[in-house]
Structure 1
């Protein structure tokens, strides 16, 4: 091989080494960033706005539900229009253990006790309501059924 050929081979070898080194140098930070970006993408759903208005009344969502306990009247809602979304953005499922509350943070889990028969269950708040002044919580069909509620019932709710 002549000296021009050797020089060209050396140049290609050096260029190949430079490309591999650059790729390795860039891959390290990218590889480190991928898990961080994946964690950032799995951020919990927001509880939405800190307040909202229904029929002229302003409701302020609690910043914290810690130690929340209340007594009141529970109602339930059954079938709803197809593809109806809840306040969390998920589709309403009348067979899920879910409920609506006007001010508890979304995704809060509460124990609901039927004061008429002592039955209790845990539901997840995934919607807003009820918007009737004499109601505390709106239960899904399945939750109401497990509690033995056919219409309205006195309940005690407590964050778990």
Structure 2
């Protein structure tokens, strides 16, 4: 068996336990598939009678003792779990994992149950409740994120067997999805098919680096999520209207000085964000 080394932050005891979770077990599926095919790590599907209906109740929970280090590394790439998931949204490919991991330990220390509505995510706090929408068939479900993964570049979430069946991902193995976190005590919002009219954001103070301007909100969210997964800085999306056209501006900050902005620009360049413009608010 090949062990995938996960390097936690020295400052947190929790990180040392990630090796018992998702990243440790991922190697089984990778060895079998050669990293190139989907779905990964499934094993034979079990009867669907055990799948719960409805899904989990969204409730306020403390962060897990395990699975929330300052950072960890898999395949030479460093990930920084978020401290707060409020307002997080992301689009990408979902996959699922099943029998091969059933009743094994997850990164949070909990036991993986393929018949529960759970999921794995690289940087969301453990646990976090997420509404997942299958963009290919319109199905929606709420899952509780309690594990780490998937560690393939084009994947954003690994669903349990139960969640994959409910969302229609079980058959094809993968699907394009949208993720939105849900705060305890709040029901998922009913979203209109078209974006709401844009309103200018309130005045801010300090310096910011603008790293992107997009007409499509999902592209702005994708860039924001990439940055917050790798850096500690705050990132916000500011809607604006430029020459009668609506845009979503991605700003990193605030920063106290232009020198701090220059240092941040260098860090952004190192993670592949090449374009940045200083904004003085």
Superposed pair shares fold, TM > 0.5? yes
Question: Which of these residues, 92, 103, 107, is aligned with residue 127 of structure 2?
Answer: 107
Alignment length, in residue pairs? Answer: 119
**Who is 2:164 aligned against?**
144
**Who is 1:31 aligned against?**
none
Question: Which of these residues, 34, 37, 45, is aligned with residue 64 of structure 2?
Answer: 45
Q: Does 1:92 align with 2:112?
A: yes
**Residues 61, 118 of structure 1: CA spacing in aligned structure 2 closer, same or farther, 3 A cutoff?**
same
Native 8 Å contact 2:103 2:113 kept in 1: no
Structure 1 vs Structure 2 CA RMSD: 1.7
Distance 2:154 2:78 in 1: 16
**Who is 2:180 aligned against?**
158
Q: Does 1:79 align with 2:102?
A: no
Q: Name whichever of 44-53 and 121-130 sits farther off.
A: 44-53
Distance 2:140 2:133 in 1: 4
Native 8 Å contact 2:63 2:126 kept in 1: no
Measured after TM superposition, the shift of residue 55 of structure 1 is 1.2
Measured after TM superposition, the shift of residue 82 of structure 1 is 5.8
Measured after TM superposition, the shift of residue 141 of structure 1 is 0.5
Deviations 1:46-104 (A, max 9, x none): 35212101111111101111100111000000112564100111111001100000000
Q: Secondary structure at the match of 1:93?
A: coil
- Could you tell me the TM-score, scaled by structure 1's length? 0.70
Q: Secondary structure at the match of 2:124?
A: coil
Q: Which runs of 4+ in 1 moved over 6 A?
A: none
Q: Secondary structure at the match of 1:80?
A: helix
Measured after TM superposition, the shift of residue 45 of structure 1 is 2.7
Distance 1:82 1:152 in 2: 19
Higher helix share: 1
Task: Pick 1 or 2: higher relative contact order, CA cutoff 8 A, min separation 6.
Answer: 1
Distance 2:92 2:102 in 1: 30
What are structure 1's unaligned runs of at least 5 residues? Answer: 1-42
**Residues 148, 83 of structure 1: CA spacing in aligned structure 2 closer, same or farther, 3 A cutoff?**
closer
What are structure 2's unaligned runs of at least 5 residues? Answer: 1-61, 183-281
